[in-house]
Chains A and B, each alone.
Chain A
Amino acid sequence: DGGITQSPKYLFRKEGQNVTLSCEQNLNHDAMYWYRQDPGQGLRLIYYSQIVNDFQKGDIAEGYSVSREKKESFPLTVTSAQKNPTAFYLCASSVAGTVHADTQYFGPGTRLTVL
């Protein structure tokens, strides 16, 4: 069953703690993305990676970090420097270098709540 998995579905964090959100895909996609979704705000790009061991900042990268050590995995760390981390986090992936490179497929999301 191919797709994108995100874990955990719900995550609670105390202020001042770092927390890592998992994203795994078995679609053999080269590109992966992290978005943040807040009510009434649409999706905003945090980081994206087009190839293993390389990634670029999106529009709201401050307070977040990522790694891309394997093609199928793109974990996101929400650091204590992120001032308002409570949000719904979405991971996506796409092929690269073909006519279908425009289509992004999304995972089910992780809802992070800071207590």
Chain B
Amino acid sequence: QQQVKQSPQSLIVQKGGISIINCAYENTAFDYFPWYQQFPGKGPALLIAIRPDVSEKKEGRFTISFNKSAKQFSLHIMDSQPGDSATYFCAAGSYSGAGSYQLTFGKGTKLSVIP
């Protein structure tokens, strides 16, 4: 059972455009929603994250929009650049006891930004 559904699988955007990646979750116990960026052959790096007590969070060109009632969240990349070409993963986190979180990941979106 896939607990975090991510779409689209791949995305091609022109330089300067807006990239939008969507995720949906099922488990209402999730209370932490990060986005990770991964370049080929590298480990994922945290890009931006949100808690369900806010509906939007912005950091530079990256914005997370969160809809708690719909159990959906999305990543918007404004003014997309070729350097943003990477695979993006959404995740949903729940507290696992002893003070740490367990993350469930979406399957990823491969973003290509063309000049």
A50–B108 touching, CB < 8 Å: no
A41–B107 touching, CB < 8 Å: yes
B96–A50 touching, CB < 8 Å: yes
Cβ < 8 Å to B, chain A residues 80-94: 90, 92, 94
Q: Contact residue range for chain A?
A: 20 to 34
**Pairs A-B, 4 closest by C-beta atoms:** A97-B99, A106-B43, A96-B99, A31-B100
B34–A103 touching, CB < 8 Å: yes
Q: How many contacting A-B pairs (Cβ < 8 A)? A: 76
B41–A94 touching, CB < 8 Å: no
A40-B107, A42-B89, A106-B45 known; A98 and B99 CB under 8 Å? yes
Smallest Cβ distance from A69 to chain B, in angstroms?
18
Residues from chain A with Cβ under 8 Å of B107 in the complex: 40-42
Residues from chain A with Cβ under 8 Å of B60 in the complex: none
Which residues of A does B touch, CB under 8 Å? 4, 6, 30-31, 35, 40-45, 48, 50-51, 56, 58, 90, 92, 94, 96-98, 101-109, 111
Q: Is B61 an interface residue (CB 8 A)?
A: no
Cβ < 8 Å to A, chain B residues 23-82: 32, 34, 36, 41-46, 49
Chain A residue nearest in CB terms to B4:
A42
Residues from chain B with Cβ under 8 Å of A30 in the complex: 99-100
B102–A48 touching, CB < 8 Å: yes
Bound Cα distance from A23 to B40, whole angstroms:
20
Bound Cα distance from A65 to B98, whole angstroms:
21
A96-B98, A101-B99 known; A42 and B108 CB under 8 Å? yes
Contact with A along B80-115 (1 / 0, CB 8 A): 000000000101010011111111111110000000
Bound Cα distance from A31 to B97, whole angstroms:
11
Residues from chain B with Cβ under 8 Å of A96 in the complex: 98-100
**16 A–B contacts from the bound complex (CB under 8 Å):** A31-B98, A31-B100, A40-B107, A42-B105, A42-B106, A42-B107, A50-B97, A50-B98, A56-B96, A96-B98, A97-B100, A102-B34, A105-B46, A106-B45, A109-B42, A111-B41
Bound Cα distance from A53 to B64, whole angstroms:
37
Chain B residue nearest in CB terms to A44:
B105
